[in-house]
Structure 1
Amino acid sequence: MRLPTAIKLHKASKTLELEYAPGERYSLSAEFLRVHSPSAEVQGHGNPVLQVGKLNVGLSGLEPAGQYALKLTFDDGHDSGLFTWDYLYELCVRHDEMWADYLAQLEKAGKSRDPSESVVKLML
């Protein structure tokens, strides 16, 4: 289990900063954390549900869940996912790959990160 040595919530920039060792610091956006929430609502009991329109979501709070996880509260009301220490570290080290996969899924589904935007594909 990889435990962070420091955790900082930056509400203005909507990021969660995790430090694991000197020089090993990661910054995860609230949007990234929200769309990768380990909750049943997002993970869909093994059939993940694509999260759309989360561009402007922020983190309103965080609290430890026992000795094994963080409970993140998002300003869109989502607060049911427990981010285990191992899962948080995975999100840190696999961020670029996971973000690219998410953007590809959005494009394939014809959806947007922007909650005020609807994407329409024309078949010409």
Structure 2
Amino acid sequence: MTAPIPTRVHYHKKDRELELTYEDGESYRLPVEYLRVFSPSAEVRGHGPDTATLQVGKKHVGLKDITQTGRYALKLHFDDGHDSGLFSWDYLYDLIQKREVNWDDYLRRLEEAGASREPQGIEIKQL
């Protein structure tokens, strides 16, 4: 797949959404929680379909920083400390295209595991 390259990337901190705008004027906003639970890192996806780790308690996760990696990807630095995995333009566009299916599948897996999107314990954030 050869995805279009965004012409603009903007983080809406209050809404915790990453907005990608493309040359054709189309713009998409992806919740940071969605990006976090579908991180392309080995920590999340494992080294195969049977080794993926279900991400729980990520409802309120945000971004600390965004850095571009070459001309092909973004590195997202989440405020829960996760910052491994590169979000290639192809992968981000795939997340846009499959957002509804991916999210429904994630919610189903959470329910099956008896887990929650809500963080456990006391959430501590530094500003």
Cα distance in 2 for residues equivalent to 1:100 and 1:23: 27
The match for 1:30 is 32
1:22 offset after TM fit, Å? 4.0
Aligned partner letter, 2:47 = H
The match for 1:76 is 80
The match for 2:61 is 57
Secondary structure of the residue that 1:88 maps to in structure 2?
helix
Q: Deviations over 1:6-49 (max 9, x none)?
A: 11011111110011244421100110000000001001111211
The match for 1:12 is 14
Q: Which consecutive residues of structure 1, in runs of 5 or more, have no partner in the other structure?
A: 118-124
Secondary structure of the residue that 1:55 maps to in structure 2?
coil
Cα distance in 2 for residues equivalent to 1:22 and 1:12: 26
Cα distance in 2 for residues equivalent to 1:6 and 1:22: 12
Aligned partner letter, 1:3 = I
Aligned partner letter, 2:44 = V
Q: Which consecutive residues of structure 2, in runs of 5 or more, have no partner in the other structure?
A: 122-127
The match for 1:86 is 90
1:116 offset after TM fit, Å? 2.9
Secondary structure of the residue that 2:68 maps to in structure 1?
strand
The match for 1:98 is 102
Return the TM-score normalized by structure 2: 0.87
Aligned partner letter, 1:31 = E
Secondary structure of the residue that 1:60 maps to in structure 2?
strand
Question: Is 1:41 paired with 2:50?
Answer: no
Q: Deviations over 1:34-69 (max 9, x none)?
A: 000000100111121100000110011101011111
Return the TM-score normalized by structure 1: 0.89
Partner residue of 1:110 out of 96, 99, 114: 114
Q: Would you identify which runs of 4 or more consecutive aligned residues in structure 1 move more than 4 Å?
A: none
The match for 1:3 is 5
